[in-house]
Structure 1
Amino acid sequence: MHAMKVLDAGGLEIALVSHNRRLAGVLTDGDLRRALIDGLSFDSPVAKAMQTHFTWVPPEMDRAVVLDIMKARGFKQIPIVGSDMELLGLHTMDDLLGTKPRENAALILCGGFGTRLHPITATIPKPMIHVAGRPILERIVLHLVGSGFRKIYLATHYLSEMIESHFGDGAKFGCSIEYLKEATPMGTGGSLGLLPSGITAPLLVMNGDLVTHFDAARMIDHHTEAGNLVTVGYSTHIHEVPFGVLDLQKGRVCGWQEKPRVSFPISAGIYVVDPSIPARVRARGATPITWVVESCLSAGEPVGVFPVGEDWVDVGRHEELKKARGVS
């Protein structure tokens, strides 16, 4: 059977059968084994062994949704099909999860009470609020896994059992997840002190309520190339003054600006820190992340920045949640 040679040569445990570029069927290693057990010979046509009813996805489908389908169905591969069943490609689990695992770990801060989002957060931790059909935290985890991160720490406190129940050990999301449980709230930097010793590579730290597609891998690389001890991810906040602004000098109007716009670089709640930083925090207990930055600045140690881009929403208030959900 020629199909056996195709399966062996491809190394993907699947062969796609097409006719005039239209996908007619799929054949997996399991299909071939079952066909031989049922008595088909090696000379039998592939049509007798292949599946003609199969799962496929369109090219525009979001990667996270494709991952969900593959995890739910236990697939390692899934065909990409266009209009009129045109074969366009093949998603594989390795491709979707990132082909080059990084040695860096990520710490996601998930312990806050989310008081500004009450009453929603009365029964659900803020990182588990759904945006576009999935929890914010799940979007972050899948994004990081797709960027090559395989070790993720979740710092939890408020309703932590809901987060642990959803993510487990991380295996179904393509990574290893370990929980840093805060007995009492430790601030935005205190959970760094809960990390195990032995971390030797720069660590990504970010808030668990961000909807963003920043380039996490490039931020880590930039941090290393720049020789920073801390790198702060930043976005740009634009404020429009809703009035005409006057330039006054000696009781006279010397200028007029109608509704001027001013912009400020702001912390995006995303950081890369040197592996020596957790030891500094460990003896302090509750610590804001600003202390980490300010202590480095006071010591003359390099603190750099990295632009996370405009695709960034901090879901801290109802207005931002509506924006993230695309609700006006």
Structure 2
Amino acid sequence: MSIEKLKLTKNASIQEALKIIGSERVRIALVVENDKFLGVISDSNIRRALLNGKKLEDSIETIYTKNSLTIKENISKEELLKLASQTDIYDFPVLNSENEVIAIKSIASILKEKSFENEVVLMVGGLGSRLGELTKNTPKPMLKIGKKPILENIVLNFKEQGFKKFIFCVNYKKEVICDYFQEGKSLGVEISYVKEKQKLGTAGALSLIKDMKKSFIVMNGDILTKLDFDQLVQEHKKSKAMMSVVLREFEYQIPYGVVKISNNDIKDIEEKPMQKFLVSAGIYVLEPEVLKYIKKDVYLDMPNLIKRLLDKKIKINSYILQDYWIDIGRLEEYEKAIIDANN
């Protein structure tokens, strides 16, 4: 859910609050001032106000619940269900140390919550050199989108979909990432680390992973996407392939007139035609057996691993991506991701 869409100022009207409540599958709106949490307003607040003679155009300032109940991100499911039963509250704002709302935990969504044992391997060891000065002192996955690092946004997206076990493959400025996320407890997930002593590429770091027992997801740590990862894993299992590669459609316009000839005679010309290709989206599902085809501590990129498997006649499945996807590799893509996050 979009936290930004749930925010109101204390000077907002009752009518504005009504438009928000229920819009994101929760029954409250958040009252904030300079991004600092003040309280919540619910439909019960509004009903009481209207019965007491308030009008829709009146401000919510005197009717919202101040000092409302909030929780921490790492609260357990059992603790939250107990709190809900004691208070008869079902939607809880989650605050950070700066009194800013970072999430809302809803009892309805928790009761429907999925949980998967499949591990997620995130490749977060790259230099990010195409982003220039931005990554001179900060690894690319730690650049902010909104108020959170790219990598935190990725982890929370996976967590929301039921994936809570992560392996970070780190290299460049790894201490920044390790110090920030540690073992993942603050986000309610489990994080372990593969620490490359040298650059091993987008597949080589997998050689350092031990005891993988289930199908696992591998994704580059600079990708933001709305892909349904549960569906991806299910389709992978149905395919009975050793590996699945997520593909997306890439369009490229040739900036010239393209000419067709036969025996030096021009037969046709097409001005600036658009070419379409299927390209790798940097997201994969692998079976543990794939790891035996990766030599330990030897540089290997994912395209070369794919070629290696194909040479051995091993089945590789394709999965066409139709959802939002952005690879934050260049400055213009980083800027676009920031804009997208605010819309």
TM-score, scaled relative to structure 2: 0.69
* Contact 2:226–2:325 (Cα < 8 Å) also in 1: yes
The alignment status of 1:109 with 2:146, answered yes or no, reads: no
Structure 1 unaligned residues grouped into runs of 5+:
1-15, 25-50, 57-68, 81-89
* Contact 2:123–2:219 (Cα < 8 Å) also in 1: yes
Q: Distance in 1 between matches of 2:74 and 2:301?
A: 42
The alignment status of 1:119 with 2:133, answered yes or no, reads: yes
Structure 1 residue aligned with 2:6? none
* Contact 1:98–1:145 (Cα < 8 Å) also in 2: no
Q: Distance in 1 between matches of 2:107 and 2:173?
A: 31
Structure 2 residue aligned with 1:44? none
How much does 1:189 deviate? 0.7
Q: Distance in 2 between matches of 1:156 and 1:93?
A: 35
Which of 159, 164, 168 is 2:173 aligned to?
159
Structure 2 residue aligned with 1:65? none
Structure having the higher Rg: 1
How much does 1:23 deviate? 7.7
The alignment status of 1:272 with 2:290, answered yes or no, reads: no
Structure 2 residue aligned with 1:212? 225
Task: List per-residue Cα deviations over 1:109-139 (Å, max 9, x = no partner).
Answer: 0011111111111010011111233211111
The alignment status of 1:146 with 2:160, answered yes or no, reads: yes
* Contact 1:70–1:78 (Cα < 8 Å) also in 2: no
Structure 2 residue aligned with 1:133? 147
Give the match's secondary structure for 1:285.
coil
Distance 1:17 1:219, change over 3 A: closer
Structure 2 residue aligned with 1:304? 317
* Contact 1:97–1:146 (Cα < 8 Å) also in 2: no
* Contact 1:203–1:273 (Cα < 8 Å) also in 2: yes
Structure 2 unaligned residues grouped into runs of 5+:
1-40, 50-63, 81-89, 94-103
Structure 1 residue aligned with 2:329? 316
Give the match's secondary structure for 1:326.
helix
Distance 1:323 1:277, change over 3 A: same
Which of 237, 245, 248 is 2:258 aligned to?
245
Structure 1 residue aligned with 2:275? 262
Superposition RMSD in Å: 3.0
Give the match's secondary structure for 1:162.
helix
* Contact 1:236–1:310 (Cα < 8 Å) also in 2: no
* Contact 1:98–1:146 (Cα < 8 Å) also in 2: no
Give the match's secondary structure for 1:113.
coil
Task: List per-residue Cα deviations over 1:256-305 (Å, max 9, x = no partner).
Answer: 22221111000111100001122332535322222321121111111011
How much does 1:242 deviate? 2.1
TM-score, scaled relative to structure 1: 0.72
* Contact 1:97–1:145 (Cα < 8 Å) also in 2: no
Q: Distance in 1 between matches of 2:153 and 2:145?
A: 9
Q: Distance in 1 between matches of 2:256 and 2:111?
A: 49
Amino acid at match of 1:269: G
Q: Distance in 2 between matches of 1:261 and 1:161?
A: 44
